Amino acid sequence: MACRISHDVPPEVAELAPRPELHALAMPREGRGEIFDLLFEGVRLPGMRMLRVYVPAAELRGERPLPVLLVNDGHKAFEPANHARVPAWRQAGTLQLHRVMDGLACAGVVRPAVVIAVATHASYRADQYVPMRTRLGEIEFGGLGEHYLDLLEHEVLPTVQAKLRHVTLSTAAADRVLVGTSIGAVSALHGVLTRPHVFGNAVALSPSAWVDDGFLTQLVHTRGAAQVRIAADIGAGEKAPIREHCRQLFSALLSHGGERVTAREVDGAHNEDSWRARLPALLQHVLGAAAR
C-alpha cells in the first residue's frame, strides 16, 4: 500500500492483508492521529456521555478546516481497553476507525478528517436513533431521533470545536459525514435526508431499513437524495427479509441520488469486523471527493 509518509513496513505487517488499518500499524508515530476523551453533558438529551475524538496527524491534515465524521455507537469506533494484551493486528470487535483513517489518509485516497465517536447507552440507543415511536413485535422504541440530531448539530460539534484549539472543523455540510451501523445507520440516513443543509454525507453499514415498515424508503421517494452523498451496503450473509428491505431502500437512493450514491449488497455479516473491512470503500466515496 502506497503512503504519503515515507517509512518501512516490517515483514510481519507486510505479510498481512493490504488493508488500511493494518498498514497504519507500520506508520511512524508522527504520521498517526491522536485520540482524546471528552465527557459531555447533553441538554437536548440530558445526561452524561463520552465523546472520543480522533484528530489526524499534523503532517497529514494541513492548514484547511477539516471534514468531520460523527459516528453513532461511539463505544465501538476504536479499541476498548480490554484489547491491551491482544496483538494490534489481531484485535477485533470494533471499527478501528483511527487506524482506518490513518491508513487511508496516508495513501491519499481520503481527505484527513476529525472523527467524533458519540457514545450511547444500549437501553435507549434505538430511541435516540429512530425519529418516531414504532414497534418490533411487542417492543416499542424510537421517538428521540430529531433530538439526537439536534444534539449533534447544536451541542456536540460546538463542544468539540471549543476543545480543538489547534484544529478547525469545517462548517460546510459537504464536509460533515454521519456514520452508523445497523439501527445507528437509520439515524445517519435520516439525518442527511432531512437536514442536507447541515449533514451532507452518510455512511450506512447494514442499515435497519425495516424500521417502521421501511419509513426511510418512503422518505427517499418523498424528499429525494440529490443534494447529499451516501455510501451504504448490506452483507450477503444477513437475513433475507433484512436484505430485501435494504434492496428497496438502495433502489430508491440510487434512483434519486444518481452518482452521489453508492449502495449495494456485498460479502459480509452483521458485526464490527465485517463492517471494518467494508468501511474503506464507503469512506472513499464520501471523503475522497473535494468539498462541493
284-289 mean pLDDT: 88
Per-residue exposure over 133-158, b if at least 16 CB sit within 10 Å of its own CB, e if not: ebeeeeeebbebbeebbbbbbebbbe
pLDDT of residue 290 exceeding 60, the answer is no
- pLDDT of the residue at 200: 97
Per DSSP, the three-state class of 262 is: strand
Under a CB-based contact definition with an 8 Å cutoff, are residues 209 and 200 in contact?
A: no
Contact 92, 147 (CB under 8 A): no
Mean pLDDT of the chain: 90
Place 289 in a pLDDT band, splitting at 50, 70 and 90: low
Is 11-287 in CATH node 3.40.50.1820?
yes
pLDDT category at 292 given cuts 50, 70, 90 is very low
pLDDT tops 70 at residue 83: no
Section 268-272 average pLDDT:
96
Give per-residue pLDDT as tens, 2-52.
Answer: 666 666 666 666 656 667 787 777 777 878 899 999 999 999 999 999 999
Averaged pLDDT, 62-83: 86
Whether residue 268 has pLDDT greater than 90: yes
- The least confident of 55-64, 77-86, 91-100, 191-200 is 77-86
Whole-angstrom distance, CA of residue 118 vs CA of residue 156: 8
In this structure, the strands spanning 176-181 and 68-71 are parallel
pLDDT exceeds 60 at position 63: yes
Cα 119–124–125 angle (5° rounding)?
Answer: 50
Residue pointed to by grid coordinates 414504532: 134
**What mean pLDDT comes out for the span 263-290?**
92
* pLDDT score for 84: 60
Q: What pLDDT shows up at residue 212? A: 96
For residues 191-211, average pLDDT: 97
| pTM of the full structure | 0.92
Whole-number pLDDT of residue 108: 87
CA distance 65 to 172: 10
Q: How confident is the model at residue 92 (pLDDT cuts 50, 70, 90)?
A: confident
When pLDDT is averaged across residues 167-174 and rounded to a whole number, the result is 96
**Residue 253 pLDDT greater than 80, yes or no:** yes
**Per-residue pLDDT averaged across 182-204, rounded?**
97
Among residues 17, 201, 182, 27, the alpha carbon closest in space to that of 101 is found at: 27
Q: Output the pLDDT for position 291.
A: 47
Q: What is the pLDDT of residues 126-140, one digit of tens each?
A: 999 999 999 988 889
Q: State mean pLDDT over 59-80.
A: 90
Residue 1 predicted with pLDDT over 60 = no
Higher-confidence residue of 92 and 39: namely 39
In percent, the amount of the chain with pLDDT more than 70 equals 89
